[in-house]
Amino acid sequence: MAVNKNSSQFRQVALPTLSLMGVLTLIGLYLYFFMDEAVHWPSFFSMMGFYSLIFLTGAYAATLRQTEDTEGFLLAGRQLPLWLAVFTMSATWIGGGYINGT
């Protein structure tokens, strides 16, 4: 039974990640063949790998979710350490100021 659960979890994580890589590859090929844009392929593949790794990490973390309650998910079960909450709030403020130009 555990093998079947792991296989299902692998599909939930791997298929969206592979789909993302496919879409990024199609975008690169479109730019190269139809837009006459110079594509630096080593950089493109590095970027593609980085985004896929970040996406894969997020997809895997989403499968570890223990609660289906939306409020518990948004509030992190009210168990977020103070230091992490401070860094998160600071990053939000700095990011908002950067985007708004203030």
pLDDT at 83: 94
At 29-56, the pLDDT tens digits run: 898 889 877 888 899 899 888 988 998 8
pTM: 0.58
- The list of the chain residues with pLDDT below 70 reads 1-6, 65-67, 102
Listed residue (29, 45, 46) closest to 37, CA to CA: 29
Domains in the chain: boundaries:
1-64, 70-102
* CA pair distance 21, 84, nearest whole angstrom: 31
